[in-house]
Amino acid sequence: MAQKSSRKNQIAGVSLEPQVMAYLDELAGRMRMNRSWVLNTIIHEYARFIEKKNLTPLAAHVAQTVGSSMTAHAGSKDRAVIEA
């Protein structure tokens, strides 16, 4: 019998500008959903938008950028910045 996989969310801490946080709270209130749901939905919709525009898929872009960044900054404690 196959096991049913359950979707588990991961916790991520992010820093948001005050104006972004205020808008996120307002939007979550209007939608009667929590901030996590709103952020997840925005990110999913943006990903679909990017894919429709035939831009580099996120997974390929991250793998390519992180791979070259790790090689260039081996031993560095700086964070890799990924620009779209």
83: in domain: no
36: in domain: yes
77: in domain: no
In the structure, what pLDDT confidence band is assigned to residue 72 with cuts at 50, 70 and 90?
Answer: very low
The structure's pTM equals 0.53
Nearest to 84 by CA among 46, 45, 36: 46
Rounded to an integer, what distance in angstroms lies between the CA atom of residue 26 and that of residue 35? 10
**Count of domains for the chain:** 1
The token pair at 8 is 């588990």
Domain that holds residue 38: 18-72
32: in domain: yes
Neighbours of 8 (CB within 10 A): 5
Rounded to an integer, what distance in angstroms lies between the CA atom of residue 59 and that of residue 24? 26
The token pair at 23 is 């808008």
7: in domain: no
Residue pair 9/36 in contact by the 8 Å Cβ criterion: yes
Rounded to an integer, what distance in angstroms lies between the CA atom of residue 33 and that of residue 8? 19
pLDDT tens readout for residues 32-71: 999 999 999 999 999 898 888 876 666 666 666 556 544 4
